[in-house]
Chains A and B, each alone.
Chain A
């Protein structure tokens, strides 16, 4: 079974552009989580989604960031009007069941976003 697939692996954007990060969960997983990791720091939770629903977006910045997980296709993390501070590794994880049922998360390889 394929693991969690993220693309692109590396993304370079200029300030003010939009960044779209994609995540396809493991087969059979319907719960997706996005995290941000700055160099030599821990993972900061951003958003938790189930198909067509946002379960918890308490870690998402209120402006410029949005996430979706449509019925068909990958989950998308969208960052509008990027700024230098958005440079980070963005990891997606998935689980077969609800996070609140103590399911472990399976992570993708991440997207390294660099803002020029």
Chain B
């Protein structure tokens, strides 16, 4: 069945280090969305990618959608303590089913 996996599941970084989470789908996706969930909070929409090979930036965050539209990545440059949380990718497959990834939990050590 459809799976959207993210790696790593957990990541601890020193403040100032970079961080990357990878999202991989077993099938082609029509779009990919990224959400951030702070501990005890709710998911908050960050960005959406639709085109093959698309790259978008939001300040220190860079989002990429793979050429085959089956994978995506989120890269954070020079992490800050405010980046702490779980990052989820979510995508819609060609059958219009919507799946969230398994999430990457980021801890930033001051």
Residues of A within 8 A of B (CB): 33, 35, 40-45, 48, 56, 58, 91, 93, 99-100, 102, 104-110
Known contacts A100-B92, A102-B48; A42 and B42 CB within 8 A of each other:
no
Within 8 A of A (CB), among B14-53: 30-31, 33, 35, 41-45, 48, 50
B96 at interface by CB-CB < 8 Å? yes
Q: How far is the CA of A80 from the CA of B35 in the complex (A)?
A: 31
Residues of B within 8 A of A (CB): 30-31, 33, 35, 41-45, 48, 50, 88, 90, 92, 96-103, 105
- Residue pairs across A and B with Cβ atoms less than 8 A apart, 20 shown, are A40-B105, A42-B101, A43-B90, A43-B100, A45-B97, A45-B100, A48-B98, A91-B43, A99-B92, A99-B98, A100-B96, A102-B30, A102-B48, A102-B92, A104-B33, A104-B45, A105-B43, A105-B45, A106-B45, A107-B43
Whether A45 pairs with B98 at a CB distance below 8 angstroms is yes
Enumerate chain B residues within 8 angstroms of A106, measured Cβ to Cβ: 45
Whether A107 pairs with B96 at a CB distance below 8 angstroms is no
Contact of B97 among A58, A102, A107 (CB under 8 A): A58
In the complex formed, the residue of A with least CB distance to B103 is: A42
In the complex formed, the residue of B with least CB distance to A98 is: B96
In the complex formed, the residue of B with least CB distance to A92 is: B42
Known contacts A42-B88, A102-B50; A110 and B101 CB within 8 A of each other:
no
Q: How far is the CA of A42 from the CA of B41 in the complex (A)?
A: 13
Q: How far is the CA of A44 from the CA of B42 in the complex (A)?
A: 14
Enumerate chain A residues within 8 angstroms of B97, measured Cβ to Cβ: 45, 56, 58
In the complex formed, the residue of A with least CB distance to B88 is: A42
Q: How far is the CA of A40 from the CA of B10 in the complex (A)?
A: 10
Q: How far is the CA of A104 from the CA of B47 in the complex (A)?
A: 8
